Amino acid sequence: MNLRKILPGFIALLTLTVVISSCLNDDNLIPANCFDGILNNGEFDVDCGGADCDPCPPSCTNGLWDPEFGEIDIDCGGPNCDPCPTCNDGIINQDELGIDCGGENCEPCSTTGSCINGVLDPSETGVDCGGPDCYPCPVPTCDDGEMNGLETGIDCGGPDCPACPEPTCEDGIMNGLETGIDCGDGLFCPPCQMASQGQIIFRANNSNFEVYGGATATVEGDLTFTITLSGSGGADEQITFLIPNAQTLADGNTVNFNQTTAGAGYVIGLEYGIYGNYLTDTPNSDVAVNFTSIGVTPGTIISGTFEGTIYNFTESFNFELTEGSFNLVLQ
């Protein structure tokens, strides 16, 4: 190896390394300034504002309160930005629950005729949503678990969603010609289960059949003939039917239990454990009861079927009752 040829190059490289290293010591660092692209040096924003830099241009999107530009609050107010939200600006903003009400800053919203009362008010297009006062209602999608929009089934059918599958007797929904969930189409599915004597049975929100053992039917009054049907599914589960003036009903008659007929005494009450109490005298409840046999004297049979919707007293939750039936001996 010829050291005379290699040594000069090695010395030159070593000299360059020493020179570069000497330029990077703390004495040669560039101090903070108004052109380094960093928020420092007492600046209000990157490379502007403060004692040393040029004033910052007005900004209504920097997430800062800039009183020097006349902002009243962060990024709002003054001559350059949009007005700041208030509790009397006629729109839902800040953390308001309704227009100019609710949240940390505004007065509480009224519990009647508002966007938080769990009721479909006249100005709303959905419960607590839509219309001029409330947040827009969610747009129906093909994966929201509900039959809405132009769907013909849950998340299927119509022009926007995939085609619904052909109905079967084990798909867990009431479709096709079925009169209950996977039963009663008169062709391929088994007959729907009916109550045996001494039972009240039904489905609640598509749950399995609730069998109320030890159900009773009693009649009171010599003229009014008020029949009470009652059955218990557990220590904290109870369903009760109040049927006034039963002597005016005939086999095959159907009565809708809702807020209107509740005024005449027709009421269904459901106590359903942790889910609370439900009554048909609430505005959106409606349960149709068909009496297949109705007697008014002890020892006779009262039987029938029922289905419909029953709400709790705040109208914030409901049960869909399906495949309901009763078969009881009057006592």
**97-111, pLDDT tens digit by residue?**
777 877 888 887 765
DSSP calls for 218-236: EEE-SSS-EEEEEEEEETT
Report if residue 7 sits inside a domain.
no
Report if residue 203 sits inside a domain.
yes
Closest CA to 282 of 318, 254, 306: 318
- Both tokens assigned to 223: 């003229």
Q: What pLDDT is stored for residue 20 in this prediction?
A: 47
Given pLDDT bands bounded at 50, 70 and 90, which one contains residue 35?
confident
- Both tokens assigned to 218: 């009693």
Report if residue 286 sits inside a domain.
yes
Report if residue 307 sits inside a domain.
yes
Query: Rounded to whole angstroms, how far apart are CA atoms 214 and 331?
Result: 13
Closest CA to 65 of 42, 45, 85, 40: 45
Report if residue 274 sits inside a domain.
yes
Report if residue 173 sits inside a domain.
no
Q: Where are the alpha helices (DSSP H) in the chain?
A: 3-23, 259-262
- Whether 331 and 214 have beta carbons less than 8 Å apart is answered as no
Q: What is the pLDDT of residues 203-251, one digit of tens each?
A: 888 776 677 767 899 998 877 788 898 888 766 788 999 999 898 899 9
For residue 273, report the phi and psi dihedrals to the nearest 5 degrees: 55, -130
Q: What pLDDT is stored for residue 114 in this prediction?
A: 66
Q: What pLDDT is stored for residue 106 in this prediction?
A: 86
Beta bridge partners of 180: 183
Q: Domain count for the chain, please give it.
A: 1
**Domain membership of residue 286 as a residue range:** 199-329
Q: Is 215 helix (H, G, I), strand (E, B) or coil?
A: strand
- The alpha carbon torsion through 261, 253, 297, 322 (nearest 10 deg) reads -70
Query: Rounded to whole angstroms, how far apart are CA atoms 212 and 195?
Result: 9
H/E segment holding residue 268: strand 267-272
Query: Rounded to whole angstroms, how far apart are CA atoms 211 and 231?
Result: 9
Report if residue 146 sits inside a domain.
no
Has residue 19 got a pLDDT over 50? no
- Whether 242 and 267 have beta carbons less than 8 Å apart is answered as yes
Q: Which of 126-130, 228-232, 259-263, 314-318 has the lowest mean pLDDT?
A: 126-130
Closest CA to 226 of 81, 314, 330: 330
Q: Which residues of 49-68 are buried (b: 16+ CB within 10 A; e: fewer)?
A: bbeebeebeebeeeeeebee
For residue 280, the one-letter residue type is T
In sign, the C-alpha dihedral spanning 98, 103, 105, 110 is positive
Report if residue 296 sits inside a domain.
yes
For residue 292, the one-letter residue type is T
What value, to the nearest 5°, has the Cα angle with vertex 275 and ends 269 and 281?
30
